[in-house]
Structure 1
Amino acid sequence: MHNERTFDFQSLPLRSADYAATLGPTVVIAPHPDDESLGCGGLLALLRKAGVPVWCVLVSDGSMSHPNSVKFPAAARQALRATELRLALTELGVDSNELQTLNLTDGAVPTPDTPTGAMAVQHLYNFLQQIGAKTILCPWRRDPHPDHRATSELVRSTIAKLPQPPRLLEYVVWAWERAAPADLPQPGEATGWRLDISAVLPQKQRAIAAHRSQLAPGIIDDDPTGFLLSADMLAHFAQPFEAYLEVD
């Protein structure tokens, strides 16, 4: 489809907003609070607008974004980020009661070949069997963040065990600007497309804004080494489309 030097998310074919509803009941797997809004907030809003059920699974608690804060110790950071996630989901029309948490360690999400990872796979398996989602959204398998890659492994290991595997769509977060050529889809590996989210872009922007601790100037102000989303990074998610990949 593309070679590694020319792969360009911007040039992927554009599908209309109506396409979202064809995905059926959908669950988004978010490595951290904010990935759901950044990577696929527009799609989630379109699904809910069409009355399609949506669930969210949060993999890690996100508490390592500001690990040196004294004002916000780990438990307070976890609570803050959980609140921000629920506010973001509400902006997208997703009932915050439809949220599952795996409570894995931020910055050290395990892979399925570890005891903790195997337990997470079982938890995911039970949940997916219970809800019967038709589509799963999770980060691109080589999105350049270790938690995103581990999350992808957990999801794919779970799907392999399901008697009726749902469709897997992989969304893009860090690959927009940090991907090395080998991180991007290789020739013949994946089908990519963009979804027109212009009708719900204001909703997506409000959902991103709900994650106040991750946006400058930030509300955790006593950890100068803490993480904040850069303006350049945020610009990718202000576009009127989202990019999705499906491995062939």
Structure 2
Amino acid sequence: MHADAFLAAAERLPVRDLDALTGGTGLVIVAPHPDDESLGCGGVMAAAHARGQTVAVVIVSDGCGSHTHSALYPPDKLRALREQETLDAVAVLGVPPEAVTFLRMPDAGVPSSGPEAEAAAARIAEIAVTTGAGAVCVTWGHDPHCDHQAAAAIVRMAQGRLGAIRSYAYPVWGWTLPEGTEVGNAPTGLRVDVGAHRSAKAAAIAAHRSQTTDLIADDPTGFRLEPQMITRFTGDFEIFIALDEPTS
């Protein structure tokens, strides 16, 4: 199935109650970079918090690839900034700082296989099991960014350790794939109505100031979320594509 048709079908997935995603317990959000958690899953995090369900967040990379030419924000300072932005963002959604784990893998260099990837998979599975999560959500494996693909691969590695915990994908950059890109079978899964939490989600996205404003002004090549991108992710629904069951 081509990407445009796949994503159009994803936008027609059935709208289900939050508990259909979380199993009535909670969830783990795996984000390749600081900000992906708020873009893809800010609404369900706020909704889960409102129901008293546990939310854990895992940020896979150190986020240092967004402004590689900034003298004012060298890597260590940029990493600290982006981690604080993440804590500020998820706090708006009701997630406490102790529920956030930073794996600090290299931005644009997250491994999709090998010992480091296996260790990350084990850590994610441990968090999911110990928090009693009903679902693990990660970026879509066809998102056109190497770290998004690697994060998806890591969660697939973790599936054998998750038992009955379901795993889902949320698309972030998939919308930018060229028409005609083959992505496999039609999607299954669900959408969750997060309309009641749109303002909180928008505030969480805005908390990532390094990605949404001119906070880092000395790197003209630095990354910036475009307004239309933010608009796409502050609608009434969030998409969760069911991942294949583990084969072993």
Query: CA separation of 1:242/1:202 partners in 2, compared to 1, >3 Å: closer, same or farther?
Result: same
Counting only pairs closer than 5 Å after superposition, residues 128-167 of structure 1 correspond to structure 2 as 128-162=128-162, 164-167=163-166
Amino acid in structure 2 at the alignment position of 1:175: G
Structure 1 length as normaliser, TM-score? 0.89
Cα separation, 2, equivalents of 1:15 and 1:126: 27
The aligned counterpart of 1:213 is: 210
The aligned counterpart of 2:47 is: 46
Partner of residue 223 from structure 2, selected from 224, 227, 237: 227
Amino acid in structure 2 at the alignment position of 1:203: A
Counting only pairs closer than 5 Å after superposition, residues 183-222 of structure 1 correspond to structure 2 as 184=183, 186-187=185-186, 190-216=187-213, 218-222=214-218
Cα separation, 2, equivalents of 1:175 and 1:4: 8
For these two proteins, the number of residue pairs brought into alignment is: 242
Cα separation, 1, equivalents of 2:197 and 2:3: 32
Counting only pairs closer than 5 Å after superposition, residues 1-248 of structure 1 correspond to structure 2 as 6-7=5-6, 8=8, 9-16=10-17, 22-112=23-113, 114-162=114-162, 164-178=163-177, 180-182=179-181, 184=183, 186-187=185-186, 190-216=187-213, 218-248=214-244
How far does residue 59 in structure 1 lie from its aligned partner after superposition?
0.3
Give ranges in structure 2 of 5+ residues lacking alignment. none
Whether the aligned pair in 2 keeps the contact of 1:137 and 1:169 (CA below 8 Å) is yes
Query: CA separation of 1:3/1:220 partners in 2, compared to 1, >3 Å: closer, same or farther?
Result: closer
Whether the aligned pair in 2 keeps the contact of 1:143 and 1:179 (CA below 8 Å) is no
% identity of equivalent residues: 37
Query: CA separation of 1:121/1:10 partners in 2, compared to 1, >3 Å: closer, same or farther?
Result: closer
Give ranges in structure 1 of 5+ residues lacking alignment. none
Whether the aligned pair in 1 keeps the contact of 2:22 and 2:133 (CA below 8 Å) is no
Cα separation, 1, equivalents of 2:58 and 2:4: 34
How far does residue 122 in structure 1 lie from its aligned partner after superposition?
3.0
Query: CA separation of 1:126/1:247 partners in 2, compared to 1, >3 Å: closer, same or farther?
Result: closer
Cα separation, 2, equivalents of 1:36 and 1:83: 14
